[in-house]
Structures are given as C-alpha cells and as structure tokens.
Amino acid sequence: MRSSGVTTSPLAGDSAFYDSLLHRPVRSPTAAIRPSASIIPWRISAEAGGIEVWWLRRAPTMRFLAGFWAFPGGGVSRRDAEIRIAGNPQGTSEDTFTRAAPELDRESMGSLGPDLAPGVLGGALRELFEETGLLLTERPAPASESREARVHLLRKELSFAELTRRHGRAVASRLVFAGRWLTPPFAPMRFDNRFFLLEWPRDAPDPEPVDDSVEGLRSEHDLSEWVRPEDALRRWQQTGLLAAPPILHVMRVLADEGSPTEQALRRLRDTEEADLGPMRRIEFRPGVVLLPLRTPTLPPATHTNAFLLGNPPGAAVLIDPSTPWPDEQAKLLSMLDAAREQGYRIRSIWLSHHHPDHVGAVEAVWKHLDEPLICAHGADCAALERRGILVDEELVDGQVVRFEGQPDLEVEVLHTPGHTRGHLSFHIPAADTLLACDLTSTLSTIVIDPPDGDMDHYISSLGRLAAREAAILFPSHGPGHPNPRQHLEELIEHRLQREEKIWKAYRDGLSSPSALVGRVYDDVPVTLHPVAERQIAAHLIRLRRLGRIPRY
C-alpha cells in the first residue's frame, strides 16, 4: 500500500492507552456452541394458492434473536437424550448428528464437546409440542389431556421423556431433514442447528402458541402466522421484518420450488448457494452483509464486524476490514472474491475510525481489490496516517452515497464522535438499519479514552443516533439489537447514572480517577480499574465543561 512515510509507533499519539489494551498475545475463546433443532411446519393451501409455512416472532424480551421471525425450535437439553424416538427423519444419516458442522471445520474451531446428538430429535419434537401444541407420539393423547400436559411441561412439572412413556415414542419419521446452520461467531450464544420440515397433519388444528393468559407462563413469542414464502421475502425486503439467514434461505428455496420437492431438499441440505466464499452469507437486512472476523479486540468480544453494503449486480462498499491476522485476512479475501463473482463491485473502503481492531486488513484488501478508494472522516485522518493508512477522500456528516444495484442502496454518513474524534456511523434507510460501529457494543461497554475519546460528545452521539428510526442496529462487536432507540437510550442512562456517582464522590472529597474508581466502579473487577479510571477521567472533563465541578 502507499506508504505515508511515517514511522511513528502505532502506540504513539493520544490513543496510546486504548491501543495498549489491544496488544494481547492470547486470542479470547469463542462462545460455547450448543446443539439445537427447529421444525418448519408447512402445508399446501388452496386458499393461499400454494405452499404456506408457519413461523413465530420471538418476543422482545428474549435473550437470543429478540424480535426475529423464526420456526419452532430451541436448544437441546441433556434430558432430551432420554426421550424415546420412533424412526428417523427422511434424508438423515449418522453424519447429520455426529459430524461437526461445516463452518466449524472451516473455522478450525474444533469439536462441539460433549455429544448431545441423541437428544437432537427429542429436542426438536419437544419444542414442536411446546410452541405449537402438536404432540407427535405413537399413541395420540386426547386434546384435553394434551393441553394439560403441555402446561405442566412448560412449568417444568413434567418432562417430555415422561410423556413418551405415557403415550408411546416420539415420532421422528414424519420429519424431513432440511439443512444445518451454525450461529455466527460474533454472538454470545451460539447454536449448531438442524432444520426439519414437517407437513402439518390435515386432521390437526392450527398451531396454537402459548400466550401470557396461561397462569405462571411467559410467552416466548408475540406473533405467529401461516405465510407464503414469497410474501415473507417481500415483507423482509420492503418493511422492517427481521429474520435470520437460515430462515430467509428456507423461504427463498420454497418460494422458488413451490413445495419440498427433491430439488428443494437438495438446495436446503446443501447450503452452498447461501455461502459467501468460506462462510455463510450473513445478511439479516437487505443489502447489509456482516463479515465477522477474529481480531485482537477487547474481551468479551472476539470478533470485529466488517460490513459489505450494496446489492448485486452493482456498486458496493466495504466498511472496516478489521483483522491483522493472516489466516483471517485470507478468509476475508476469499469472501470478497466470492462477492465479486456474485456481482458486487467494491470501489471503496470506508473506515469508521482509526483503532487497530478496525483497520488491520486495510493494506491486504487495498492490494487485493486493485486499490479502491480509502475513505474516513477528516478528524481521524492524522491518526490513520500514523498507522500508515492514507485517506483518499474524506467522508462528511450528512453525506448520502448511492450505490447502484438491484435495487440501489443509499447510505447516509453520520459523524458520531466520542469514541474517537472522527468516529462514523451509518444509516441505511431502505434497510431500516443503523451501523453504529464502535459507538455501541451488544457484548460490553465502550471505552472512552481522553483526549481522543470525549464523553460529552459520546453521549450526544448516542442521542443523535437514538433519534433515527430503524428496525435494527448493528455494532462492530456483537450481534444486532432489534430496538435501537431503547438500546441507545439505556446506554445514555447508564452513563449518566455513573456520572452521578462520580459527582457525589467528588463532593465527598475524592477528586482523582485513582481515588474515585473504588467508589464509582465497585461493581467491576479490580483488574478492570485501569480502564475504569479512563472512563472517570472522561466524565470529569465533561463535568468541568458543564460547570458542575471546578476547572483546574
């Protein structure tokens, strides 16, 4: 890459403390992976004119994929291995349950640990009963007995294994294997999920999700419906509907094929068409592809999300090519090659800010993509130059860039200082999406390190982003958040509560960060106090600026 001619250490300048936190020799472990299973109920409806599938929207209180539409399913428990099973799903083999998922092989992340494969089918049929009321056992239970048993099961007063002893084995032979997916590595909860199709029995009533009217139970879902796959995809494209890549892949295949034909099943099981080079295509919102890459970032995060924006065939931009590690860079370059084969024309690299866990692959990508333009905010250009990165064009607040494609995609640039002077976030109105980058994290807190970091500006930037309407917010570290306004307002409130503790302790005579940290951050481990002291320093600067404490 073009050299800036600067030989200054990357730790030079006013981000030295923050950079020092990232210079760790050990990579943090990724989240544990739990086996899980989902069942896709389907039917042919004359009224709908074809196939319909049944799905539910996960309640906003759920820890995993809150607000997303999904199929009945969930994590496998150890007790699921006790469930007696009749038959095997069509299209399965021993590898379906015992072999490591393809992404695990690709990521060289090792095995899944304790083998819970015997419980996958039991877990799938248990979740089906819990979430729809359909009990698939050899001896069907009367409707009243089934409803009562379901309530006891959900209250943990009865196990599904006990039900199979009463009503015969759980029937797995009516299921059809429909693919296997792994939760992306940026998530704090990860699942190795098998999908199964189930033609809804004609003599069975419609699925009946549990609602909050049942005493002692809290529903995991707030909406459910039968939907035509093409209608689900249209709503995902045109509204703020949220769905994860596996669900979208199922909908695309069934919309194309019209029913679970042999061709459809081949496509569902061999998910190569849903890949982007060496990884699955992670596109929660249209035109916004996440590329999680392992980086030397701050725990508990292990990855930094790069973003590919645009719709093929057409122009695109890559935001924050992050990783400095050769193996991860090779993965990124392979994904970019796959993107170009799919019609993406990547003409520029945008940098949200200058921190090393966001710019580590800039040189490798710049060379590989035939020298695209490098763009950033002007306030971060000097810091980027100290890292050997020369900016070709400056991005400015309020700038709207249109990327031609099918359809076109407009991206609004937002200057959101606070984490750094030139930190940028991005708004994609057509996708109902905010890219907050390092303004927020859904895994932990954001470090504000003066003088480059500014708490006053940071709180203002959070407020500015909260005023934007969006269905989902994606940070640089962690999964997306389905309620951006709530998330951002909670972050502001948290910072202000911490600031009140600082102000009260200051009035009691504690004036330096080292003296304040024990009182203000009594809820964090002592090992984090050096980082906490920098947050206190940032708050003290803000309090002086507001006139609440004397200036030096």
> Quick one: tokens of 245?
């890549």
Query: What is the model's pLDDT at position 95?
Result: 65
Helix or strand or coil: residue 406? coil
The bridge status of strand 400-403 relative to strand 393-395 is unpaired
Query: What is the model's pLDDT at position 168?
Result: 94
The CATH 3.90.79.10 domain(s) of the chain lie at 33-276
Residue 213, pLDDT above cutoff 50 = yes
Q: Which candidate, 277, 287, 202, 298, places its Cα nearest to that of 530?
A: 298
Whether residue 40 contacts residue 269, with contact meaning beta carbons closer than 8 Å, is answered with no
| Displacement of CA 62 from its chain's centroid (Å) | 14
pLDDT digits (tens, 9 = 90+) for 174-201: 999 999 999 988 888 889 999 999 999 9
Query: What is the model's pLDDT at position 112?
Result: 36
Query: What is the model's pLDDT at position 94?
Result: 62
The CATH 1.10.10.10 domain(s) of the chain lie at 488-552
CATH number of the domain at 33-276, out of 3.90.79.10, 3.40.50.720, 3.40.50.300, 3.30.420.40? 3.90.79.10
For helices 143-154 and 160-167, the axis angle rounded to 10 degrees is 160
> Lowest-confidence range among 34-48, 64-78, 91-105, 330-344?
91-105
Percent of the chain scoring above 90 in pLDDT: 75
Higher pLDDT, 79 or 112: 79
Tell me how long the chain is.
Answer: 552
Residue 98, number of CB atoms within 10 A of its CB = 11
Residue 116, pLDDT above cutoff 60 = no
Query: To which H or E segment does residue 535 belong?
Result: helix 529-545
Segment 122-138 shows an average pLDDT of 96
Query: What is the model's pLDDT at position 103?
Result: 57
Whether residue 137 contacts residue 50, with contact meaning beta carbons closer than 8 Å, is answered with no
Fold of 488-552: Arc Repressor Mutant, subunit A (1.10.10)
Residue 145, pLDDT above cutoff 80 = yes
Residue 365, pLDDT above cutoff 60 = yes
Residue 14, pLDDT above cutoff 70 = no
Partnered with residue 55 across adjacent β-strands are 225
Band of residue 291 on the pLDDT scale cut at 50, 70, 90: very high
pLDDT digits (tens, 9 = 90+) for 476-515: 999 999 999 999 999 999 999 999 999 999 999 999 999 9
Band of residue 45 on the pLDDT scale cut at 50, 70, 90: very high
Cα torsion at 140, 166, 146, 35 (round to 10°)?
A: -90
Whether residue 501 contacts residue 465, with contact meaning beta carbons closer than 8 Å, is answered with no
Q: What is the 3-state composition of the chain as percent helix, strand, coil, each rounded to the nearest 5?
A: 35, 25, 40
Query: What average pLDDT does the structure give for the chain?
Result: 90
Residue 17, pLDDT above cutoff 80 = no
CATH 3.60.15.10 fits domain 16-28+284-482: yes
Q: How far apart are CA 292 and CA 405, in angstroms?
A: 24
Residue 105, pLDDT above cutoff 70 = no
Query: What is the model's pLDDT at position 531?
Result: 92
Band of residue 219 on the pLDDT scale cut at 50, 70, 90: confident
The bridge status of strand 393-395 relative to strand 472-475 is unpaired
Q: How far apart are CA 517 and CA 524, in angstroms?
A: 10
> Lowest-confidence range among 133-147, 254-268, 489-503?
133-147
Band of residue 52 on the pLDDT scale cut at 50, 70, 90: very high
Residue 1, pLDDT above cutoff 90 = no
> Lowest-confidence range among 122-131, 211-220, 484-493?
211-220
Model pTM? 0.91
Residue 7, pLDDT above cutoff 50 = no
CA distances from 380 to 69, 293, 307, 355 (A): 39, 23, 19, 10
Backbone dihedral angles phi then psi of residue 14, each to the nearest 5 degrees: -90, 15
> Quick one: tokens of 552?
């030096």
Query: What is the model's pLDDT at position 5?
Result: 40
Query: What is the model's pLDDT at position 196?
Result: 97
Segment 25-49 shows an average pLDDT of 81
Band of residue 272 on the pLDDT scale cut at 50, 70, 90: confident
Give 457-490 as a DSSP string: HHHHHHHHHHTS--SEEEESSS--BS-HHHHHHH
Query: What is the model's pLDDT at position 220?
Result: 87
Query: What is the model's pLDDT at position 454?
Result: 97
Band of residue 114 on the pLDDT scale cut at 50, 70, 90: very low
The CATH 3.60.15.10 domain(s) of the chain lie at 16-28+284-482
Q: How far apart are CA 425 and CA 435, in angstroms?
A: 6
Q: How far apart are CA 254 and CA 262, in angstroms?
A: 11
Segment 446-472 shows an average pLDDT of 96
Q: How far apart are CA 477 and CA 294, in angstroms?
A: 10
Residue 8, pLDDT above cutoff 50 = no
Helix or strand or coil: residue 344? strand
Query: What is the model's pLDDT at position 551?
Result: 78
Q: How far apart are CA 43 and CA 498, in angstroms?
A: 54
Whether residue 485 contacts residue 450, with contact meaning beta carbons closer than 8 Å, is answered with no
Higher pLDDT, 318 or 142: 318
Whether residue 358 contacts residue 320, with contact meaning beta carbons closer than 8 Å, is answered with yes
